[in-house]
Chain A
Amino acid sequence: MSEEIHDVRLQVNGASHTVQVPARRLLSDALRHDCGLTGTHVGCEHGVCGSCTVLLDGRPVRSCLMLAVSAQDAEITTVEGLTEAGDVLSPVQQAFSDCHGLQCGFCTPGFLTTITAGLRDNPDPTEDEARDMIGGNLCRCTGYQNIVSSVLRAAEITKERA
């Protein structure tokens, strides 16, 4: 028995990708394997670690908990889409580099997307709010110290660039 295949149009980082996928294909797999955007990482495939977080119409979602077919026509931003024109690192990306907010880099895309959305909602977070912003993402390398600093630094860079 063969599976029914659906044509799904995914709008990712401003580009349109039409992928042919079965209904059960996870958005994370479609992004990685069908669109070739391997910056989105899969750490647990049960929605706990947050590595696969992407922005769906600007809001952070776990792409391992969503089917590709249900993302039809939504505006998706992955880590690859955070980098600004001229290959300039976004404030959040730059802050992670400044503060040594990453080590192995595997969980990093999920933090970057989560914080990007978080700072849009709250451009000037306190340290408590910064901690709250990243409270749903797992990192096994950094002990989070420098990620908290990165959130605060990203807010500063955003203001500096404004």
Chain B
Amino acid sequence: MTTKLFGTKVPRVEDQRFLRGQGRYADDVLVGQRVLHAAVLRSPHAHARILDIDVSGVLDVEGVHAVWTHEDLTGPMAEPLPLLIPHPALTHGRTQFALAKDEVNYVGEAIAFVVAEDRYVAEDAVGRIRVDYDYLPPVVGIPAARAATALVHEDVPGNVGARLEQENGDARAAIASAPHTLTLDLTIERSACQPLEGRATVARWDPDIDRMTVWTSTQTSTGVRGCVAAKLDLDLGQVDVITPDVGGGFGVKINHPWPEELLVPMAARALGVPVKYTEDRREHFISSAHERGQVHHVEVGFDDEGRILGLDVEFWHDHGAYSPYGLIVPIITSTQLLGPYKPANYRVVFESLFTNTVMVTPYRGAGRPQGCFVMERTMDAIAAELGKGRTEVRSANFIQPDEFPFDQGLIFQDGRELEYDSGDYPALLDKLKALVGWDEFPAFRAEMAAEGRRVGIGLACYVEGTGVGPYEGAHVHIETSGKVKVATGLTTQGQGHQTAFAQIVADALGVPFDHVEIVTGDTRRMPYAVGTFASRAAVMSGSAIHLAALRTREKVLRIAADALEADEADLEIVDGVVRVKGTESQIDLGTVAVLSNPLRYAFDEASKAATQFAVGDPGKPPVAEGDEPGLEGKDFYSPERATFASGMHAVIVETDPETAEITILKYAVVHDCGHLINPMIVEGQIHGGVAQGVGGALYERMVYDESGQLLNASFMDFLMPYVTEVPRGIDIDHLETPSPLNPLGIKGAGEAGVIPSAAVFAAAIEDAEGITITAMPISPSELFDLRRQHQEETP
């Protein structure tokens, strides 16, 4: 009997190559072959007009092949990069050029592109380019953007790229008539994904077949393919994009095309030699993307039980210099802010503001950490105001299990209604309280206080829309060897898709796990795909693969029934063999594959069985009407709307009375992502998310000075957590509320770990200190200052 693999901790197949040093990342491609290397001249100024670029010294450098500036670009390459996700409210969307034209708007913006024998020489050449600038006043930070005494783009009044308002009910009226009201101002600073592998692109133009191959470290192969074709005036059919192993993404690699993703193939075609560009860490800091920077103003009205009668949120989103990814991040904040709650009336309005800083595109969580911070700070404030328990106030506001599907009355990031499919928030809260020891905490606090130690506990709840459309697809092919080759178009950056998806296929087809091979992110194998973001891969491609495998199974059974002269209903597939239940009669999948493809020419022993004198009814066409040769199945999954995962985190922290150092004593996660395909992988995702959340809450920030220089653009100065900063152990408990929207009942899990971090740490520190926390991240010195300020204000 084949054991069901769905839901089990199957070890990852991809580990075998990674552990041997045999992974293949973009910078590893074409090693040992002739390839030229690119380097980019980047703006040292946050805002300036370009008066002149002198590249005359560059070609004198031995080993330099070519240099491009904007004036060398032609056709679509000379136009601005695409605005990927237009929105009616994005009235003043702006995107950069592949190479700056006339003006630079952030430190790091690409100005010139040099190709040379190696990266060292290319960088030497970049150093010889002379640019004359006319300096313009930089706009740095949300207050400066709002003040608009200077403009980032002179044709964008007030620096406002977009203003979007949504309302369900009449929030302001409800607040005006509520028995209790509160006002909060809440701030989150910038951070960034910082995958250990930065961006990298390699391209090879093959003049013999007029074809471009691009390898790029991306979260969307098909997206890059479309852009390369459009920008280089190639037919889509002339461009193959292959996403090799990717060393982490966390969102930043969903934005595309980066200037280099176009310039590299352009140069490869022009020079007739493959070209490679691999950014260094400083380039990743100053020329990829950041996220999280937002300022929020909340007005809330509630009743004596803490039930929210009206919630009115206004916020300002720092979009950086350009808006290629549209309004996705602030739209997610504005909708996912609601979490597991159902305020009677809700209004939200945001402005998306341009600043002369690195542009903003999604980072794991994508606006949800900010939304969760706002909502959970509000819940804690309501509890404090009423003198009620923090869990009690939350419970009073929860959507109840019998209220699903629950329509929040808003439009979500995918343009669809924000309608939650399933969940059980009271059950999650019960699990969390048990896991962290919520009810035992007062005793623990007293015990610690007796030792002169100061501790606090916090909790935060979230709901995450996962598995957004439009679709993903899968192609399953059973070869005559019996091996199963599966392709899905979205990409993978460490989530273990080759394992999790193979589990799904092995179960659906009844084949051994190690007979299944999964290929992701290769447009040659699956040209129709969207990408890996928004915790969507398992839901979207997992479902598509399941459906495609079932289609293949149908064909297997049809052919096998014919060959075995049995009824399809009497067949079962076990370990790659189709059997007539309860008999000795059987046929292996490889033979079924042979029979599926009527041949004229044999190519090996097995295929002889499918040749014209060996098989088939002479009275019928060899391939039946409506059928196709080959043992293949293809299907697509395109859900009506997203499926909503949920979870709750709690943390116990200790704050040092002297130094204000913040130590994590316990971290607990309860999580509901529907049915788990591979619990080991899901827990790994949570671990990683929590660590990034710790970074975002306590350490990481982008330090810009007033002239727009990023002062901490290195791993020396941008404090990413090492093992010394993460909790010692993360307690995890799962709830499995299946999604009714897909055949496997799954929900996404990738971003969950990071969403509640700012909220949960703020709550715990506030609880330890008795000082209201309104801005995150928080460092020991900031906490120290807050204490001093608090002492001065408290008589």
Q: Which of B31, B193, B280, B729 contacts A145 (CB 8 A)?
A: B729
Distance in angstroms from A92 CB to nearest chain B CB is 9
- Choose, from B386-394, B414-422, B612-620, B717-725, the stretch at the interface: B717-725
Chain B residues with CB under 8 Å of A140's CB are 193-196, 248, 250, 688, 691-692, 720
From B27, B120, B714, contact of A44 by CB (8 A) = B714
Q: Is the interface of B mostly helix, strand, loop or mixed?
A: loop
Residues 1-40 of chain B: 1 if any A CB is under 8 Å from the residue's CB, otherwise 0? 0000000000110111111111111011001100000000
| Cβ–Cβ < 8 Å partners of A146 in chain B | 684, 687
Residues of B within 8 A of A2 (CB): 62
Q: A43-B197, A43-B281, A140-B250 known; A109 and B723 CB under 8 Å?
A: no
User: What residues of chain A lie closer than 8 Å to B681, measured between beta carbons?
Assistant: 100
Q: How far is the CA of A44 from the CA of B284 in the complex (A)?
A: 10
Among B17, B119, B197, the one with the most A-chain Cβ atoms within 10 Å of its Cβ is B197
Is B769's beta carbon under 8 Å from chain A? Answer: no
| A127 and B729 alpha carbons, distance in the complex (Å) | 11
Across-interface contacts of B197 in A (CB, < 8 A) = 41, 43, 104, 106
* Cα of A42 to Cα of B62 in the assembled complex, Å: 26
Distance between A16 CB and nearest chain B CB, rounded to angstroms: 17
Say if the beta carbon of B549 comes within 8 Å of chain A. Answer: no
**Contact of B248 with A104 in the complex, beta carbons under 8 Å:** yes
> From residue 110 to 134 of chain B, which have CB atoms closer than 8 A to chain A?
118-120
B25 and A41 within 8 A (CB): yes
Q: Tell me the B136-182 residues at the A interface (CB within 8 Å).
A: none
A143 and B687 contact, Cβ closer than 8 Å, known pairs A51-B196, A103-B496, A134-B723:
yes
Q: Which of the residues A22, A29, A38, A142 comes within 8 Å of B21, measured between beta carbons? A: A38
Q: How far, in angstroms, from A97 to B11 measured CA to CA in the complex? A: 7
Q: Are A103 and B196 in contact, with the CB atoms below 8 A?
A: no
B354, chain A: closest CB distance, angstroms: 29
Within 8 A of B (CB), among A97-125: 97-98, 100, 102-109, 112
Q: Which of A104, A136, A142 has the most CB of B within 10 A?
A: A104
Taking the complex as formed, is B435 at the interface, i.e. its CB lies under 8 A from any CB of chain A?
no
Q: Are B19 and A143 in contact (CB under 8 A)?
A: no
Residues on B with beta carbons closer than 8 Å to the beta carbon of A83: 20
Q: Is the CB of A138 within 8 A of B196?
A: yes
Residues of B contacting A89 in the complex (Cβ-Cβ under 8 angstroms): 19-20
Contact of B196 among A1, A39, A49, A100 (CB under 8 A): A49
A161 within 8 A of B: no
CB distance from B561 to the nearest CB of A (A): 41
A93 at the interface (CB under 8 A from B): yes
Query: Do B25 and A78 touch (CB < 8 A)?
Result: no
User: Is there contact, CB below 8 Å, between B18 and A108?
Assistant: yes
B715 at the interface (CB under 8 A from A): yes
Q: Which of B194, B495, B723 contacts A148 (CB 8 A)?
A: B723
Which residues of the partner chain B approach A109 to less than 8 Å between Cβ atoms?
A: 21
For residue A40, CB closer than 8 A to chain B, the reply is yes
Q: Is A59 an interface residue (CB 8 A)?
A: no
Give Cα A36–Cα B33 distance, bound, in whole angstroms.
Answer: 10
Contact A40 B722 (CB under 8 A): no
CA distance A135 to B723 in the complex (A): 6
With a cutoff of 8 Å between Cβ atoms, the chain B residues found around residue A79 in the complex are 19-21
B193 contacts across to A, CB distance below 8 A: 140
Query: B550 in the interface, Cβ–Cβ < 8 Å?
Result: no
Q: Of B25, B31, B722, which contacts A106 at CB under 8 A?
A: B25
Give chain A residues whose Cβ lies under 8 Å from the Cβ of B14.
105
Interface digits, A124-144 against B, CB 8 Å rule (1 contact, 0 not)?
Answer: 000100010011111111111
Partner of B687, one of A25, A44, A46, A142: A142
0 or 1 for each of A30-70: is its CB under 8 Å from B? (1 = yes): 00110011111111111011010000000000000000000
Q: How far is the CA of A58 from the CA of B202 in the complex (A)?
A: 34
A104 touches B691 (CB 8 A): no
**Complex: A136 Cα to B248 Cα, angstroms:** 19
| B622 in contact (CB, < 8 A) | no
Complexed CA–CA distance, A45 and B278 (Å): 12
Q: Is B437 positioned at the interface, with any CB of A under 8 Å from its CB?
A: no
Residues A38 and B196 in contact, CB atoms below 8 Å apart? no
Interface-centre pick from A1, A137, A140 (highest chain B CB count, 10 A): A140
Q: Specify which chain A residues have a CB less than 8 angstroms from the CB of B281 in the assembled complex.
A: 43-46, 49
B494 on the A face (CB < 8 A): yes
Question: Are B245's CB and A105's CB within 8 A?
Answer: yes
Partner of A48, one of B24, B31, B494, B714: B714
B residues 664-712 in Cβ contact with A at 8 Å: 680-681, 683-684, 686-692
Assess the A145–B19 pair: CB atoms within 8 A: no
Task: Report how far A32 CA is from B23 CA in the complex, Å.
Answer: 13
B450 within 8 A of A: no
Interface status of B247 (Cβ within 8 A of chain A): yes
Complex Cα distance A80/B281, Å? 25
In the complex, what residues of A have CB within 8 A of residue B721's CB?
Answer: 144
Residue of A nearest to B732 (CB): A145
Does B493 make an interface contact (CB < 8 A)?
yes
Q: Which of B15, B32, B120, B728 has the most CB of A within 10 A?
A: B15
Cβ of B491 to closest chain A Cβ, rounded Å? 12
| Cross-interface CB contact of B723 among A103, A104, A147, cutoff 8 Å | A147
Alpha-carbon gap, A98 to B16, bound state (A): 11
Instruction: Judge whether B55 is part of the interface by a CB distance below 8 angstroms.
Output: no
Bound together, the chains give a CA A139 to CA B690 distance in angstroms of 13
Give the docked Cα–Cα distance between A14 and B203 (Å).
34
B57-101 vs A, CB cutoff 8 Å, 1 = contact: the mask equals 000001000000000000000000000000000000000000000
Tell yes or no: A17 within 8 A of B by CB: no
Complex-state Cα separation, A98 to B680, whole angstroms: 11
How far does the Cβ of A149 sit from chain B's closest Cβ, in whole Å? 10
Chain A, residue nearest B11 (CB): A97
Tell me the smallest distance from the CB of A69 to a CB of chain B, in Å: 14
Of all chain A residues, which has the CB nearest B24? A38
Contact B495 A1 (CB under 8 A): no
Find residues 732-781 in chain B having any chain A CB closer than 8 Å to their own CB. Answer: 753
Q: Please, which residue of chain A has its CB at the minimum distance from the CB of B193?
A: A140
What residues of B have a CB within 8 angstroms of the CB of A38 in the complex? 21, 24-25, 27-28, 31
Q: List chain B residues, Cβ under 8 A from A22.
A: 120
Tell whether A6 is near chain B: CB-to-CB under 8 Å: no
CA distance A37 to B22 in the complex (A): 9
A24-B120, A104-B248, A142-B688 given; A93·B20 CB < 8 A? yes
Given contacts A1-B62, A104-B494, A105-B245, contact A143 B11 (CB under 8 A): no
B278-317 Cβ-contact flags toward A at 8 Å (1 or 0) = 0011000000000000000000000000000000000000
Q: When chains A and B are docked, how far (Å) is the Cα of A100 from the Cα of B10?
A: 10
**Which residues of chain A come closer than 8 Å to B689, judged between CB atoms?**
143
Q: Is the CB of A36 within 8 A of B31?
A: yes
Q: Are A138 and B715 in contact (CB under 8 A)?
A: yes
User: Contacts A36-B32, A140-B250; is A96 near B196 (CB within 8 Å)?
Assistant: no
Closest beta carbon of chain B to A84's beta carbon, Å: 11
A44-B281, A80-B22 given; 11 more Cβ-contact pairs under 8 Å: A38-B28, A43-B196, A49-B196, A83-B20, A97-B12, A104-B247, A105-B15, A109-B21, A131-B728, A138-B196, A144-B723
Query: 23 A–B contact pairs at CB < 8 A?
Result: A32-B27, A32-B28, A33-B31, A37-B21, A38-B28, A43-B197, A43-B247, A89-B19, A96-B15, A97-B15, A98-B11, A104-B197, A104-B245, A105-B245, A105-B247, A107-B196, A108-B19, A138-B720, A140-B196, A143-B686, A143-B690, A144-B723, A148-B723
Seen from chain A, the residues whose Cβ lies within 8 Å of a Cβ on chain B are: 1-2, 22, 24-25, 29, 32-33, 36-46, 48-49, 51, 78-80, 82-83, 87, 89, 93, 96-98, 100, 102-109, 112, 127, 131, 134-148
Instruction: In the A-B complex, list the 10 residue pairs whose CB atoms are closest, starting with the nearest.
Output: A39-B21, A104-B494, A106-B247, A105-B18, A143-B691, A143-B687, A79-B21, A103-B494, A48-B715, A38-B28
